[in-house]
Chains A and B, each alone.
Chain A
Amino acid sequence: MQRSMRLVSFGLAVGLATTLAACSESGSSGSSASGSAASTGDIKIGVVLDITGAGASLGVPERQTIEMLADQVNAAGGVNGRKVKLYIEDNQSTEDGAAKATTKLLTTEKVDVIIGASRTGPSLAMRPIAEKAEKPMVSLAANAKIVDGSKWVFKTAQNDRVVLEKMVDDMKAKGITQVAVARDASGFGEGIPEMLADVGKAAGITVVKVEKFAPDATDFTSQMTNLRASNPQAVLIWGIPPAAGLAQKAYKQLGLNVPVYQSHGIGNQAFLDTAGDTADGLRAPLGRMLVADQLKADDPQKPVVTKFISDFKAKYNANPSTFAGHAYDGFMITVEALKKAGTDSAKLRDALEATSKWPGVSGVFTMTPTDHSGLTKDALVMVTVENKAWKVAG
């Protein structure tokens, strides 16, 4: 019997090793992409998204958006007469997957520009590869580290710092000073409690407890129990759905009732579905798209947002999420720059950096040499949830 058990364990080890090996097919194909791109023929846009894995609720609508927009651009005659061709890769929500996909796009497909990834971690893994190849990259993720000091990398989701500034304003108005934080353990949540303490210093805000959760975690009892024990005046949950929604649910179910703040990572239906009625009353700084019906008529974003929502609905029979919005901004800013500069890497980069007062779905973008994110806290509105729908907070 002992032999049999040993055999079993050995077999299991062999089996697992085989899967792992199969999953991580050798990716490094050596030489970096170089040489000038052709100035005729199709424009090749590489797209790396979190289509499966923890980031699936972000990556799937982002892919849908980019496919829809590419069809629209091509139907309207392409960019300066050249068709846009997409090369979409799934990074499986992993850093190494993102790095591999980027390398493949740059060396094998020789794309002109890269869009992605959906989340911070994979985007950070892609940054050095794009920089080494000297190709422009537009990330759809949040953390400012993705673009800080980078020449070639841009991004469209609102910076986490901007989100925290908006949040701190709200906390200050409510007299909240003791905040407990539950954050995503991956790149998206990295450094958030520290940044909150820094941004909130002037308002007297201190972080009393920090808990982490894996982006694919499903049970949050342990984290919320610890937060409850720290007696905070408010709780900040910083994550993406479904984890952020499950955390919100666990929070209510453990009987905590101090106000909850959530990040701008929650703007989709998956969040409302997983959190259910426990989401009522939360506060989150989000882009204007989710409350498009409540925008003033003279809002510069209103026409863009309204058209995007109706196009997306007509094609996919669902409301677009804020992540779909980040993809819209990323893709359209790229297309605008391509129109101006063509596919020459350096010129395209300069054109991206010259984006100014461009009204997108997540805000009005103005890129500068020092700010490759382009949005300020004006791009955000304080949003709450009522009866499973987004509402501008009073």
Chain B
Amino acid sequence: MIDLLQLVFAGLAQGAVYGLVALGFVAIFSVREIVNLVQGEYAALAGLTAISAVGAGLPLLVAILVAIPITIGIAVLLERMTIAPVKKMTPLTSIILTLGVSTAVKALMLLIWGPEAKGLPTFPGSDIVLGGVSIRSQELWVLGVSAVVAYGVIWFYEHTVRGKSLRACAEQPVAARLVGISPRTATVVAFAVAGLVGGVAGIVGSPIYLSSWTSGLTLGLKGFVAATLGGLTSLRVAMLGGLGLGILENLVAGYLSSGYRDAVAFVVLVLVLLFKPHGLAGKSSAVRV
């Protein structure tokens, strides 16, 4: 029983990171129907930037406060440079386009930071044992920070005028324009949000899961799988999907074989696309066609 709880808890922390990345996919797809495969790179970029800042002698908190705006800035800049100039964007075009961008970003990260994986120092706090279950302080940070950020993003998209206006762009672009919502601003805001959640995921996860030029790829794919659970449009399901995926991975690794860990996400993806292509949330997304 203790082993089960141990595996579930470690899975929750891992899953929270997937969930944040998944939020980034949804934040953009629900505004512009763009599948942004650069999403995982934001996490790698933020982690590596923060590690360099710490290496330059900045305190951890300052390093994080530097790395996140830089990541958001790069997310927006890449959007302006590569997404904005495209006149007729389809999901397919966006996938091919962002795949190219993500490969370029990866190569740049390899040039700047080299091939070795590095980790941020663990955030302050000490590990605790609760009823036989060892809990690492960093896992509590991951869960706490993810909860705050996820709640903030969901609240922004669902309860503020600004956030609702973003979704209006996706549902009725022409009408949105008529009432004065700029699709251009909406896209920029969506990419900034994606940069934020990706950056946070990369930084809180870095002390445990390390950052390297390749870490964005797996993280992005797992986040994408979690996002498809919500049909790429539900923030809540994406976050919960991430958590569920993390737990499932850990259970498979613990009870079957750790070699199957990375296969879990793809089995889930195939099952979702075969049986529930709208996502587990059901028909809610049909209104958007």
Q: A residues engaging B (CB < 8 A)?
A: 1-2, 4-12, 14-15, 18-19, 51-53, 56-57, 59-60, 185, 211-214, 216-219, 221-223, 225-226, 228-229, 242, 246, 253-255, 270, 273-274
Known contacts being A5-B277, A11-B96, is A212 close to B257, with CB within 8 Å?
yes
Stretch at the interface among B69-77, B109-117, B145-153, B191-199: B109-117
Q: A1-B286, A11-B91, A56-B115 are in contact. Are A242 and B35 (CB under 8 A)?
A: no
Contacting residues, chain B, for A246 (C-beta < 8 A): 210
The answer to whether A218 touches B209, judged by C-beta atoms less than 8 angstroms apart, is yes
- B-side contacts of A253, CB under 8 Å: 127, 134, 136
B288 touches A1 (CB 8 A): yes
Bound Cα distance from A217 to B258, whole angstroms: 9
Within 8 A of A (CB), among B7-29: 7, 10, 14
* A-B CB contact pairs (8 Å), 21 listed: A4-B33, A4-B91, A5-B232, A5-B273, A5-B277, A7-B92, A8-B95, A14-B95, A14-B96, A52-B214, A56-B114, A212-B259, A214-B258, A216-B117, A217-B261, A221-B6, A221-B254, A222-B253, A222-B258, A223-B253, A253-B136
Instruction: State A20–B167 Cα separation when bound (angstroms).
Output: 35
Q: B residues 271-289 with Cβ under 8 Å of A?
A: 273, 277-278, 285-286, 288-289
B95 & A12 in contact (Cβ 8 Å cutoff)? yes
Residue contact B285 to A1, C-beta cutoff 8 Å: yes
The answer to whether B14 touches A219 (Cβ under 8 A) is: yes
Q: Of A1, A52, A59, A219, which is within 8 A of B209 by CB?
A: A219
Q: With the chains together, A57 CA to B117 CA distance in Å?
A: 8
Instruction: Point out the residue from B37, B214, B257, B288 that lies within 8 Å of A53, measured CB to CB.
Output: B214
Minimum Cβ distance to chain B for residue A5 (Å): 4
Top-6 shortest CB links A-B: A221-B10, A222-B254, A56-B115, A222-B253, A11-B92, A52-B115
In angstroms, Cα B207 to Cα A242, docked, is 12
Q: Looking at the complex, which one of B95, B110, B224, B278 makes contact with A1 (CB distance below 8 Å)? A: B278
Task: Collect the chain A residues with CB atoms within 8 Å of residue B254's CB.
Answer: 221-222, 225-226
User: In the docked arrangement, what's the CA distance between A274 and B96, Å?
Assistant: 36
Instruction: Out of A1, A14, A59, A222, name the residue touching B7 (CB < 8 Å).
Output: A222
Whether B208 sits at the interface, judged by CB under 8 Å, is yes
- Name the B residues within 8 Å of A6 (CB-CB): 277
B3 contact set on A, CB distance < 8 A: 225-226, 228-229
From 43 to 100 in chain B, residues with beta carbon under 8 angstroms from any chain A beta carbon are 90-92, 95-96, 99
What A residues does B289 contact at CB under 8 A? Answer: 1, 4
Chain B residues positioned under 8 Å from A8 (CB to CB): 35, 91-92, 95, 232
Q: Is the Cβ of A7 less than 8 Å from the Cβ of B91?
A: yes
Does A60 lie within 8 Å of B91, measured CB to CB?
no
Q: Is B119 an interface residue when CB atoms closer than 8 A count as contact? A: yes
Q: Determine whether the beta carbon of A2 is less than 8 Å from that of B95.
A: no
B250 part of interface (Cβ distance < 8 Å): yes
Cα–Cα, bound, A217→B261 (Å): 10
CB within 8 Å for A15 and B95 given contacts A1-B286, A221-B10, A225-B7: yes
How far is B127's CA from A216's CA once the two chains are assembled, in angstroms?
A: 24
Q: How far is the CA of A165 from the CA of B163 in the complex (A)?
A: 65
Q: Mark B212-224, 1 if CB is under 8 A from A, else 0.
A: 1110000000001
Which residues on B sit within 8 Å (CB–CB) of A228?
Answer: 3
Which residues on A sit within 8 Å (CB–CB) of B103? 19
Q: Is the CB of A221 within 8 A of B277?
A: no
